[in-house]
Amino acid sequence: MKKLIIYDTTLRDGAQTEGISYSLQDKINIASRLDSFGIDFIEGGWPYSNPKDTEFFNYFKKHPLKNAKLVPFGSTAHPARPAHQDKNLISLARCGTEYVTIFGKTWDLQVKEVLRVSPQDNLKIISGSIKFLRSQGKKVFYDAEHFFDGYKNNAEYAIKTVSAAILAGAQLIIFCDTNGGTLPWEIKKIVQEIREIISFGDFGIHCHNDLGMAVVNSLICIEDGCSHIQGTINGYGERCGNTDIVTALGVLKFKMGHTVSCEKNLTQLTELSHYVSEISNMIHRDASPFVGRSAFAHKGGVHIDAMLKNPLAYEHIAPELVGNHRRFVVSELAGKSSLVLKAKELTFDLDKKSARAKKIHKLIQDLENQGYQFEAAEGSFKLLLEREFRKYKKFFELLGFRVTVEKRENNELISEATIKLKVKGALRHIASEGDGPVNALDSALRRALADFYPALAKMRLSDFKVRVLDAVEGTAAKVRVLIESQDEKESWTTVGVSENVIEASYNALADSIEYKLLKDSKPRA
């Protein structure tokens, strides 16, 4: 099979995701990471549309990438001016890159109602734009926008637009499912027909995920002869997103047997996915294929028993191939086998047939029946094992706390927490204000411990979730609080359950701090 070209557009199409706003440094960092991973082409942005993208390309003029080709993105010339006077095209030519990507209209509806020119004039715009960029020494990737909608509506005209781009000197034609509404069998039929009509040249595919089929549609096009695939890390993009390059890479290499430039680095795929989600300030999806936290997690007792005998029973590839790892989830649904395996993973030697194993298994079932969830709170689970193995040494003792919320005449809302602890034999009685009752309680707890455990200054709360467990009880319902914390080395999650959200929050906060102190302390017998 011929080598495939991987074209990443996270920094342009992915940046259009609702909730994502990359700084210049964010874009530089992501581009550098994609470059070291081995992506072939990185679409850096639309320089004419905003100063940030212009600065981005100016930066890489002085600090060129080592492996990838950087590509600016823009449109064909404005209908009101010739290509050589179009500021958008001129800005693309000045980016200092070997390649340029432009998009043009393929769908006659878009030509008439959006661009508002005649079909013939649109062909001249496509041709003139590409010829101008070619005259500036650029290799041009041409994105045939709304190609599949255009082909279904007026196949003859859609082919004319592609032919105009080829004749003008486009290096590559990329078929775009811009609205993301084309079904897999439609994609397959159209690409096969196009390959019969235009038998020369290379083609690429760019899909959106509005039907949840961007990856499969892209892979179908690869099967039918396209050699270039576009997408974004984690499938980021406008509306429902784009082809997820992470998932596509896993399938292309490990299921379809294709060669890709970055294949020697696929053991870093999980790390790359998490890196981009972190910079994007997006929660990483646990169920993401190949790279999600749950992608190789096993919870059911029958599954875990089978996995112990042969991992192929419930895993389609070895998780190490993509830099992920197998997880055995501890829950009421799992048997003692999973408990033993999880304990071993956390360096506890537990005999499946021992009384201790039976006791811990029963305890977990009872706690989960109360609303605890250890599969999502491995920090609390490790503390549970520490206590049951009698290795656990309390770092502080709670004597009591009080939380008040006061709304004043000026509409100001004040939250204050007072906490009383015993720490290393000393009494600590501290009050602290916060943005809310949980924040105030967290602040008071940390202040009470700060003099004894200065390492807590390096720990921060990174996520806070509240789940109502029995909604029919209304405001008296039991709640589960999950808190994710992190320091400079790792992150961990702890859980608290109570009918009182403040008590549940305290339990999760206390576990989180205990976990930090425990892992930082010297090993104890």
pLDDT surpassing 50 at residue 425: yes
**Range from 60-64, 283-287, 464-468 that averages highest in pLDDT:** 60-64
Instruction: Look at residues 465, 409, 401 and name the one whose alpha carbon lies nearest to residue 434.
Output: 401
Confidence category of residue 41, pLDDT binned at 50, 70, 90: very high
pLDDT surpassing 80 at residue 365: no
**Token pair of 398, please?**
């709670």
DSSP 341-355: HHHHHTT----TTSH
d(CA 324, CA 315): 12
CB 292 within 8 A of CB 284: yes
Confidence category of residue 384, pLDDT binned at 50, 70, 90: confident
d(CA 462, CA 445): 17
pLDDT for 97-113, tens place per residue? 999 999 999 999 999 99
Give the model's pLDDT for residue 332: 47
Give the model's pLDDT for residue 152: 95
Mean per-residue pLDDT, 174-185? 96
d(CA 70, CA 12): 12
CB 268 within 8 A of CB 15: no
- Looking at 255-300, list the stretches that DSSP marks H as alpha helix, in order from N- to C-terminal side: 269-279
Q: What is the DSSP letter of 368?
A: H
Could you state, in order of their start, the residue ranges of all structural domains in the chain?
5-279, 297-370
Give the pairing of strands 397-407 and 297-298: unpaired
**Token pair of 84, please?**
């050589």
Amino acid identity for residue 72 in this structure = P
3-state SS class at 96: coil
pLDDT for 479-509, tens place per residue? 888 888 888 878 888 888 888 889 999 999 9
Which phi and psi (to 5°) does residue 438 adopt? -70, -40
User: Comparing 362 with 474, which gets the higher pLDDT?
Assistant: 362
Q: What is the DSSP letter of 111?
A: I
Which phi and psi (to 5°) does residue 376 adopt? -105, 10
d(CA 252, CA 260): 8
3-state SS class at 436: coil
CB atoms within 10 A of CB 196: 8
**C-alpha distance from residue 419 to each of 9, 340, 401 (Å):** 50, 37, 4
pLDDT for 293-346, tens place per residue? 888 877 655 555 666 666 666 688 999 999 988 776 665 445 556 677 677 767
CB 66 within 8 A of CB 48: no
Give the model's pLDDT for residue 286: 86
Mean per-residue pLDDT, 67-83? 95
Give the model's pLDDT for residue 303: 59
Amino acid identity for residue 337 in this structure = S
User: Comparing 499 with 252, which gets the higher pLDDT?
Assistant: 252
% of the chain with per-residue pLDDT over 90: 60
3-state SS class at 146: coil
pLDDT surpassing 90 at residue 18: yes
pLDDT surpassing 60 at residue 42: yes
d(CA 80, CA 90): 15
Range with lowest mean pLDDT among 28-42, 243-257, 474-488, 505-519: 474-488
Give the pairing of strands 479-486 and 460-468: antiparallel
3-state helix/strand/coil string of 452-499: CCHHHHHCEEEEEEEEECCHHHHHHCCEEEEEEEECCCCEEEEEEEEC
Give the model's pLDDT for residue 55: 95
User: Comparing 3 with 273, which gets the higher pLDDT?
Assistant: 273
Give the model's pLDDT for residue 416: 94
pLDDT for 192-250, tens place per residue? 999 888 876 679 999 999 999 999 999 999 999 899 999 999 999 999 999 999 999 99
pLDDT surpassing 80 at residue 371: no
235: left (phi over 0), alpha (psi -120 to 50) or beta: left
Confidence category of residue 520, pLDDT binned at 50, 70, 90: confident
- Looking at 38-172, list the stretches that DSSP marks H as alpha helix, in order from N- to C-terminal side: 51-62, 87-93, 108-110, 119-135, 147-153, 155-167
The model's pTM is: 0.70
What angle separates helix 245-254 from helix 214-223, to the nearest 10 degrees? Answer: 40
CB 477 within 8 A of CB 500: no
Homologous superfamily (CATH) of 5-279 is: Aldolase class I (3.20.20.70)
pLDDT for 405-417, tens place per residue? 988 777 888 899 9
Range with lowest mean pLDDT among 253-262, 449-458, 473-482: 473-482
pLDDT surpassing 50 at residue 524: no
d(CA 338, CA 375): 11
pLDDT surpassing 50 at residue 525: no
d(CA 170, CA 139): 7
Range with lowest mean pLDDT among 47-61, 284-298, 302-316: 302-316
What is the distance, to the nearest Å, from the Cα of residue 404 to the centroid of all Cα atoms in its chain? 38
What is the four-CA torsion angle of 324, 329, 333, 338, rounded to 10 degrees?
110
**Token pair of 287, please?**
């169920």
Burial class (CB in 10 A: 0-12, 13-18, 19+), 113: exposed
Q: Which residues contact 39 (CB under 8 A, 6 or more apart)?
A: 6, 7, 8, 67, 68, 245, 261, 262
Is the torsion defined by CA of 354, 355, 358, 364 positive or negative? negative
